[in-house]
Chain A
């Protein structure tokens, strides 16, 4: 049996919704990674940047799309285009800065020069060397197939048959972005944190919905008051220290009641209820933006009750604190993490400073939370490579097939105690993407049923 048959033909065994089991090999297999690049990152709408990162004509930001890098560029007429950062002559990158402002992109190999719109406008010696026979109009930079924005968030796809961004996002994906956009007149704060973790990208996505881990993983952050937790209340269960003492695991009320939304193409939102979060913080004040009539209406009945964590398939996480995290697969075992942080232009200086401090201190490589997350992802990834350890399945059995899915307002909602429904939904959708179906088939196969 060839290697090609071994994993792709076993997709149904690799991800089992019935058993709540995932085959670990999907986190390290090269062939699976190649398929992900082709059938997921080669087709899906992918987040590139926010419009406020490129406000002026000639502003650009380089963003990843699978294994490709694209330049997102503000045009002379104010519109936005994105094209591959590779010269149409012999492939050199036409821009080697991460961001900046230009009038043209001049390739430093032979000097071919491209306008802000990606058109080839200059070829050194085109009459001497090419005898004026080169048709410049035939060799622009390669554009993305479609580019659209939703409330300032710029997305693109390489698939010209992809549905519109709005359809791709659907009510759940749009709500995910609304939860950030509704916070005010939002702009990206200068500086994108970028760092590398030795993990498979799916571990970082799985973790977005995992409200079982904070009590242990982030124990030290709770202990120093970086996150509120009620004192002297502990979880039952039998966690013991390496000295055999009972480990007092802090009890987190956010773990009690979760609202889950799962949707077409694999998007999901899963996290604590807003009211519970506010009880934790002892105040509604930090969430004042939610309580304007316009925002309540925009978020809708369920959206106004959900605190987090939204995930737009495949790799965009929007936090409850006004940040966006992009997880960029570089190889089966290496993922780059980028943090885009937002602020409300109209907020006071003190408010902006307080939020910025939150952005710096929770996530990112120096974040009091994410340091420990990265550790877990890296170690989990490592164990998917062992000859025998990779045969031990991943378990996602919490609340399996027990919670009814309610379909209302275009959403598929589950209300349940802490659970693993959204993770399972993500893996299920991942599997359906890998079969490379048509968009119609994919939509049908990722339409939620009655239970998960």
Chain B
């Protein structure tokens, strides 16, 4: 075992810590908007050219694990542009989207956040999530997985320019995906 002997650059560390803090706060705010059913505000967090994608995961052998997830252009659960996300948001606010009326109770727990520079004004952010949902009298659904986001600074504001959501389930153990991830 070797010991780290290179002195750390205090300026670099502070910059990273601030960035980490900023992204964490961004995600906590996003989670609060979703759990508070404030979808009109939530959608404002996305860039106009966003690609929001949740592929299908398949149980494959280790040898063929590279084929586990479907790719854009193949089947998916979500494959959304901004307009399509907006349609989903609008649908929830009609008052007649029965799968969410009465609304489900959700809790978005966002953890393991890692941020990297993606060049230019963009960051690559990895996070894990645990979405816990209860519906009606006694239904409970849970989804765990990871997200890969590209975050962009637009006029000083962070916007989600790309979100790929990788679920840990293959056969979904829920009747629907009527919530956002």
Which A residues lie at the B interface, using CB under 8 A? 96-101, 189-198, 217, 219-221, 223-226, 336, 339, 341, 353, 356-357, 359-361, 364-366, 368, 370-372, 374-376, 378
A-B residue pairs in contact (CB < 8 Å), sample of 26: A97-B59, A98-B58, A101-B64, A190-B70, A192-B56, A193-B77, A220-B95, A220-B98, A224-B90, A225-B87, A226-B87, A226-B91, A356-B73, A356-B75, A357-B84, A360-B77, A365-B174, A365-B177, A366-B54, A368-B88, A371-B97, A371-B176, A372-B97, A372-B98, A372-B99, A375-B176
The answer on a CB contact under 8 Å between B171 and A366 is: no
Chain B residues, Cβ within 8 Å of A98 = 58-60, 170
Q: Type the 1/0 row for B51-90, where 1 means its CB is closer than 8 Å to any CB of A.
A: 0001110111100100100110111111100001001101
Min CB gap A278→B, angstroms: 23
Our pick among A191, A224, A365 for the contact of B74 (Cβ within 8 Å) is A191
Q: Type the 1/0 row for B145-181, where 1 means its CB is closer than 8 Å to any CB of A.
A: 0000000000000000000000000111111111000
Q: List 6 other contacts, CB 8 Å, given A191-B55, A224-B90, A226-B91.
A: A191-B76, A195-B171, A223-B96, A365-B77, A370-B176, A371-B100
Number of A-B contacts defined by CB within 8 Å: 125
Residue with the greatest number of chain B CB neighbours at <10 A, chosen from A96, A191, A226, A361: A191
Q: Within the assembled complex, what's the spacing in Å between the Cα atoms of A271 and B79?
A: 29
The answer on a CB contact under 8 Å between B175 and A368 is: no
Chain A residues, Cβ within 8 Å of B170 = 98, 194
Chain A residues, Cβ within 8 Å of B172 = 194-196, 365
The answer on a CB contact under 8 Å between A375 and B77 is: no
Chain B residues, Cβ within 8 Å of A378 = 175
Q: Within the assembled complex, what's the spacing in Å between the Cα atoms of A261 and B176?
A: 31
Chain B residues, Cβ within 8 Å of A359 = 75
What is the chain B residue whose CB lies nearest that of A100? B64
Q: Chain A at the B interface: mostly helix, strand, loop or mixed?
A: mixed
Q: Is B2 an interface residue when CB atoms closer than 8 A count as contact?
A: no
Residue with the greatest number of chain A CB neighbours at <10 A, chosen from B73, B74, B98, B170: B98
Q: Is B6 an interface residue when CB atoms closer than 8 A count as contact?
A: no
Min CB gap A105→B, angstroms: 11
Given contacts A217-B98, A372-B98, whether A194 and B177 have CB atoms under 8 Å apart is no
Q: Within the assembled complex, what's the spacing in Å between the Cα atoms of A225 and B91?
A: 9
Given contacts A368-B88, A375-B99, whether A197 and B61 have CB atoms under 8 Å apart is no
What is the chain B residue whose CB lies nearest that of A337? B175
The answer on a CB contact under 8 Å between A196 and B70 is: no
Min CB gap B141→A, angstroms: 10
Q: Within the assembled complex, what's the spacing in Å between the Cα atoms of A99 and B61?
A: 9
Q: Within the assembled complex, what's the spacing in Å between the Cα atoms of A204 and B90?
A: 27
Q: Within the assembled complex, what's the spacing in Å between the Cα atoms of A100 and B173?
A: 22
Q: Within the assembled complex, what's the spacing in Å between the Cα atoms of A9 and B116?
A: 68
Q: Is B5 an interface residue when CB atoms closer than 8 A count as contact?
A: no
What is the chain A residue whose CB lies nearest that of B173? A196
Min CB gap B15→A, angstroms: 39
Chain A residues, Cβ within 8 Å of B100 = 371
Q: Within the assembled complex, what's the spacing in Å between the Cα atoms of A57 and B175?
A: 35
Residue with the greatest number of chain B CB neighbours at <10 A, chosen from A96, A353, A361: A361
Q: Within the assembled complex, what's the spacing in Å between the Cα atoms of A223 and B95?
A: 10
Q: Within the assembled complex, what's the spacing in Å between the Cα atoms of A368 and B98?
A: 11
Min CB gap A329→B, angstroms: 15
Min CB gap B127→A, angstroms: 20
Chain B residues, Cβ within 8 Å of A376 = 98
Chain A residues, Cβ within 8 Å of B73 = 353, 356
Chain A residues, Cβ within 8 Å of B177 = 365-366, 371
What is the chain A residue whose CB lies nearest that of B75? A191
Chain A residues, Cβ within 8 Å of B76 = 191, 360
Q: Is B94 an interface residue when CB atoms closer than 8 A count as contact?
A: yes
The answer on a CB contact under 8 Å between A366 and B78 is: yes
Min CB gap A11→B, angstroms: 30
Task: For the complex of A and B, list the 7 residue pairs with the smallest distance between their C-beta atoms, beginning with the closest.
Answer: A191-B75, A191-B70, A195-B172, A220-B97, A191-B56, A371-B99, A219-B96
Chain B residues, Cβ within 8 Å of A220 = 91-92, 94-98
Min CB gap A195→B, angstroms: 4
Our pick among A191, A195, A225, A353 for the contact of B174 (Cβ within 8 Å) is A195
Min CB gap B96→A, angstroms: 4
Given contacts A219-B96, A341-B75, A356-B79, whether A368 and B91 have CB atoms under 8 Å apart is yes
